[in-house]
Amino acid sequence: MKKIVILFDGQNFSRAAFDFAARLNEQNPVLLAGVFLPSVDYTKMVYYLGGIDGAMLNAEMEIEADEKAMEANIAVFKELCVANNIEHRVHATIKGTILEGITHETRYADLVILSSDLFYRNLGDRGRNRQLEKTIHLAECPVVVLPEQYTFPESIILAFNGSESSMFAIKQFAYLFPELSGLRTMVVYATRKTADMPDFDYIKEYAARHYPDLTFFKLAVDPDEYFNTWITDVKASMLVAGAFGRSVLSESFFHSFTEDIISTHKLPVFIAHK
């Protein structure tokens, strides 16, 4: 049995994140922990506004609104878990700051799920994207980021370049989701160069043991510019990728990856890094 965490923030409840977890529970029962985060970091707000009466009053009103929204969202979460026969827990009090709480919660989980549409959308597009990047970077378990409107995966895309990071993500996905690893799977190597897929014999030996319906594809384009465009044409798919400076494609890829795939809500993405 896996332990899965869903991160909800403030007044936002992601039905997409819950539905994804529910589909996984249908395939193999899970323990689902709903982690309810404040919409802003009130520990910092109280520190900075300690001597400003009017600002403190507004902060207190925001905290009260957050608490009411959380209570309502927790009730919805519990009802949905019972209706879907999911063993569940509620974590409504985090340790330290929001980011410290995320690190602590993900340390004791096999997987975290969050919504690219709703996660800290109160911060605006730029702030939300930054919060997504921080969360993925700090998470101590693999992360699934998905849009509110998506199709449950019917195929898997493994982004590969021979790096430790890309292989780590491919292994983690196979270990966590043997039931999804049986879907139609494509290992994709994207490069602007003429080089062949690195370590082809090795990735073929490994991937074929875990992904029985397997093909390989070299995408001869600049990955920073065209990978995101190409992948949106692969319908009902899920991308498996490494992250950040340990990127599956290039040093600069993750920033365009965040902007063009995650923040524009095109498909579910599984991200794993050490």
Residue that terminates a domain, selected from 82, 116, 146: 146
Residues 45 and 140 occupy one common structural domain: yes
What are the helix (H) ranges across 5-108? 15-27, 42-48, 53-83, 98-107
Q: Kindly list the distances between the CA atom of residue 233 and the CA atoms of 180, 236, 256, in Å, as whole numbers in the listed order.
A: 20, 9, 17
Return the CATH number at 41: 3.40.50.620
Please tell me whether residues 125 and 231 are part of one structural domain: no
131-173 pLDDT tens trace? 888 898 899 999 999 999 999 999 999 988 888 888 999 999 9
Q: Which residue segment(s) compose the domain that 127 sits in?
A: 2-146
| pLDDT tens figures, 216-243 | 998 876 666 677 777 777 889 999 988 6
Last residue of a domain, one of 146, 176, 207: 146
Q: How far is the C-alpha of 189 from the C-alpha of 202, rounded, in Å?
A: 14
Q: Are residues 11 and 123 in the same domain?
A: yes
Q: What is the pLDDT of residues 163-216, one digit of tens each?
A: 888 899 999 999 999 999 999 999 998 776 767 889 999 999 999 999 999 999
Note whether 99 and 141 are same-domain residues: yes
State the average pLDDT over residues 12-32. Answer: 96
pLDDT of residue 28: 95
